[in-house]
Amino acid sequence: MEKALFLILAAVCAVAALNVVLQRNPLYSALSLIATLCSLAAIFITLQAQFIAAIQVVVYAGAIMVLFVFVIMLLNVTTAERTIDRHRYLKFLAIPFAGLLITEVFYVITRFPQAQMPTGAIGTTESIGVYLFNQYLLPFEVTSILILMAMVGAMVLARREEKGK
């Protein structure tokens, strides 16, 4: 039952992710990315990480992607035109590198056939809160300062247009 659920969700996720790169219209790519994120959130739920799933939808699919969609709509990014011929050789590099990636993934998967779920509740609100404020307090605070820096930077960059204040 869980396997069937995982297969369906993984298929949706993979198809949506493929659609992100195969679509010509950037808005459709963004929508496919949202579909990918939502199916990822569903996979998190099958792994008993409900908090992470909800936060994934709220933050990533609900806030960050809204920003992407705004930018695409406001900047009127048109459908991708043919790229410059200078980079045509990249197409031929793609296949060997993809092969390399798939080989690495298979190697890792076959080396650890019995991956086990960590015992206990890992992805629930309480456990994340406990870890975040006890063991990982420094990264947490540093991340918040990082976000503050990003906000201040964005505000400074946006304000620079109106000099003379």
Partner 1 sequence: MTEFIIISLIKIAVVFFILLTVIAYLSIFERKILGWIQMRPGPNRVGPWGLLQPLADGIKFLFKEDLVPAAVDKVTFILAPMVAMIPALMTYAVIPFGSEIELFGRTIPLHITSINVGLLYVFALTSIGVYGIVLAGWSSNNKYSLLGGLRSSAQMISYELALALSIVGVLLQAGTLDLQQIVANQAGTFKIAGIPVLPRWHIFWFQPLGFIIFLVSANAELNRIPFDLPEAEAELVAGYHTEYSSMKFAMFYMAEYANMITASAIATTLFLGGWRGPFVDQVPILSVIYFTLKVCIFIFFFIWLRGTMPRFRYDQLMNLGWRVLLPLAFLNIFISATISLFVS
CB 19, CB 28: distance < 8 Å: yes
Torsion of CA 47, 52, 56, 62, to 10 degrees: 130
Among 9, 13, 34, 40, binds partner 1 (CB under 8 A): 34
Q: Is 50 among the residues that bind partner 1 (CB under 8 A)?
A: yes
Which SS3 state, helix, strand or coil, does residue 154 take? helix
Among 5, 7, 11, 73, binds partner 1 (CB under 8 A): 73
In residues, how long is the chain? 165
Nearest alpha carbon to residue 19 among 37, 6, 7, 31: 31
Q: Is 155 among the residues that bind partner 1 (CB under 8 A)?
A: no
Among 20, 43, 62, 122, binds partner 1 (CB under 8 A): 62
Q: Would you tell me which residues interact with partner 1 (CB under 8 A)?
A: 27-28, 31, 34, 38, 41, 50-51, 53-55, 57-58, 61-63, 66, 69-70, 73-74, 124-125
